Structure 1
């Protein structure tokens, strides 16, 4: 009897241990924290934990595969490492999944070790609690803290202004009192006799001063009109609101997306086109919400998610079904910021390809404390720091000419070195103090016909 009870107790302990470790058998024997890093690096382009993106939601995928097909982690290892090979072997469940998700090819991952896959599966089974993103209230409180000294300064200015007005009023009252006393004295009659009583008398007395003032006013008016005319069409600092909010700081700054991924014709074309919505969908087909840490002051995650939804509305994309519905709204009417007049010829490729090194070097020499690493920034400013893009320079003819006069031609370029060989030797003799440096104006960069034809 005692022996039977011993074996019974041992059996219960064994069953308990088996049950307690069964979760580990199905995906929790890896490191969820490391799995999170691997998941974000390899899987987030097509998958999310809690919803379908390009592929299915992966939270609880180990248990789901076991429930649906009676398969274990070994099958998942084969699927993740090389799903094509698994499908080619005739695996029924692998081919069912392939058909279910519109025959979308999944990337193979032969570089992932068994431990890496175990860590990813552990993350999908038991994801660690994510640290909350900085809330909009935090940004607002930070802004309020920053604004507090400014508010205090404003209050001080108002108080000082009121005191100054009060002092001025007291001074006026004192002067009025003095005038009243003066009116009661005999000196007032003599003072009135000596005063000028008409404008003609004033003009006759001070006509030289009057003519001088009129001449000065005429000169100032002429200068003002000339200055106003010269700045017609110059919109430095112009930053209009767009129909869909797009932060270059998030895309080009925080996420390091290359300019030419969206503006593909800027390098090899005459103009840099406005990207179509299909370019946006290359990424936002899989990115339906904003999970970045950066939040612009006054904006929260819900704001950015709402802007992504606008992209879906204009393209007719259904994020739940992961397909186009064919029911899209009207085209997005973007407001153009940089727009050369029709009488000006400007070729992007000429500057971005042929002049890239020369422009960057020239800009960095003139701005040692504000250097650039991409040629685009020389004209458009540091776009990767702008939440709302603005016109960073004047884009006047004088601005272009000044650049052509100070930018050296890249003589290490094989074509330039051979084509301008004789000119280079001539300039060395003509301007020995400059070492014969060739700037863009020396090769016709300020000829009228280069830009106006």
Structure 2
């Protein structure tokens, strides 16, 4: 009896240890916190449901346990410092390293054991996605109401139009009847007077030729002004927004995801021209982003549309997301240019983006307090971070540039300007007073040779 009780107690202890071990592997973390940590640290190389740079991590705890009989302690060591784990001679760690083309995973010594447990819980039991916002239902209701309103307005317009035609017909009939009455009541004296009146445009012109010539002169002046004004706006395409071969929403990239303009348009800071980014720049991110998971949806667009545009990027670069390799079969993208400076005009982006950055931002915000900007690019190109399709936001005429040079104050606190224009600054203070503001035109901003050479 004593021996049976002893074995019974031992069995209970063993079962409790087994349960506690299982509990340490599963459901010991916070899946919601793990989701945040996973997105912040892991999504550059991993997804739950498919291989990216590294393997799919959905159910990784069970997989490692079943295939290698390894527990979460091994995963903790791998995540914190996989290089040290491989250096210790761990067989499975080195197998993974070889399998994924010796691509070294980043070490995460900053993650606590609790953080890693939360991440593993997320890979084991990811929380259900939040229910979609009910805005779509509201939109549908609004659309139906708008359609009904439009139909009512259309019917009202038809009734008004028919009524106007009826009134017009009635008025015409009355005029004809009045004309008949006038003819019946005409006297011989009135008939003789009518015979002396002009009955054609030629008679009228001969009788009042001096008035006619004056009218023609005035019309000629208006016509000349109209032609001149039309010619002055040749080449001005404010509002121009062509369709591109691959749909690219600046609102999603620059607005929703806060990507800096110069991350893609890097030459704007260092060169004359702000180039169209190469597709390799797109692949820096989209190598690991194969589908759209953002909350923002442009009206008329859905997730399938955005996913299709990402596939166009892959086709252009020859990227195979399944094998995570380039095939070498590329298809150049023929982008439609929006901003195109004439050949006879010199414009240097670096000069404005670097030397003139603070001065331009300050000047723009003074003139447009309701639309303040935080990036110098917006002064010329508009609020690009709100545009789904980029458009030409300003006239970009010579007068538009000159007006900017006349009103933009030079930043004299800039170390370069302070030294280079020191003598000019002193001269202007003596001439106009100590409170003189130096604008761009004062340092040669209106010289013809600055822009035309």
CA distance in 2, matches of 1:50, 1:136: 29
**Hey, what does 1:97 align to over in structure 2?**
96
**Hey, what does 2:251 align to over in structure 1?**
249
Q: Which structure 2 residues correspond to residues 17-416 of structure 1 after superposition, within 5 A?
A: 24-133=23-132, 141=140, 144=143, 147=146, 151=150, 154-155=153-154, 156=156, 159-186=159-186, 189=191, 192-193=194-195, 195-328=197-330, 330-416=331-417
User: How big is the shift at 1:209?
Assistant: 2.5
CA distance in 1, matches of 2:142, 2:426: 60
CA distance in 2, matches of 1:74, 1:333: 52
User: How big is the shift at 1:184?
Assistant: 4.4
Q: Deviations over 1:397-430 (max 9, x none)?
A: 1100110011111111122112212211221232
Change (3 A) 1:148 1:141: same
CA distance in 2, matches of 1:189, 1:39: 101
Q: Answer whether contact 1:360 1:372 (CA < 8 A) is retained.
A: yes
CA distance in 1, matches of 2:210, 2:417: 64
Q: Answer whether contact 1:136 1:299 (CA < 8 A) is retained.
A: no
Change (3 A) 1:42 1:250: same
Q: Deviations over 1:424-448 (max 9, x none)?
A: 122123223x822111111111100
What SS is found at the alignment partner of 2:36? helix
Q: Does 1:423 align with 2:427?
A: no
CA distance in 2, matches of 1:91, 1:243: 49
What SS is found at the alignment partner of 1:271? coil
User: How big is the shift at 1:147?
Assistant: 4.5
RMSD after superposition? 3.0
Change (3 A) 1:123 1:297: same
CA distance in 2, matches of 1:216, 1:17: 105
**Hey, what does 1:443 align to over in structure 2?**
443
TM norm structure 1: 0.91
Change (3 A) 1:438 1:306: same
What SS is found at the alignment partner of 2:26? helix
Q: Deviations over 1:244-301 (max 9, x none)?
A: 0000000000000000110011011111111000000000000000000000000000
CA distance in 2, matches of 1:115, 1:145: 51
Q: Deviations over 1:303-360 (max 9, x none)?
A: 00000000000111111111111122x2000111111111111111100111001111
User: How big is the shift at 1:178?
Assistant: 2.4
CA distance in 1, matches of 2:53, 2:60: 16
Change (3 A) 1:20 1:215: farther
CA distance in 1, matches of 2:395, 2:37: 47
User: How big is the shift at 1:46?
Assistant: 1.0
Q: Deviations over 1:100-139 (max 9, x none)?
A: 1111121111111111111111111011110245599558
TM norm structure 2: 0.91
Q: Answer whether contact 1:343 1:452 (CA < 8 A) is retained.
A: yes
Q: Deviations over 1:210-257 (max 9, x none)?
A: 222212211111111101110111111000000000000000000000
CA distance in 2, matches of 1:150, 1:359: 46
CA distance in 1, matches of 2:302, 2:213: 63
CA distance in 2, matches of 1:97, 1:419: 60
What SS is found at the alignment partner of 1:117? helix
5+ unaligned residues in a row in structure 1: which ranges?
none
Change (3 A) 1:142 1:436: farther
CA distance in 1, matches of 2:217, 2:199: 26
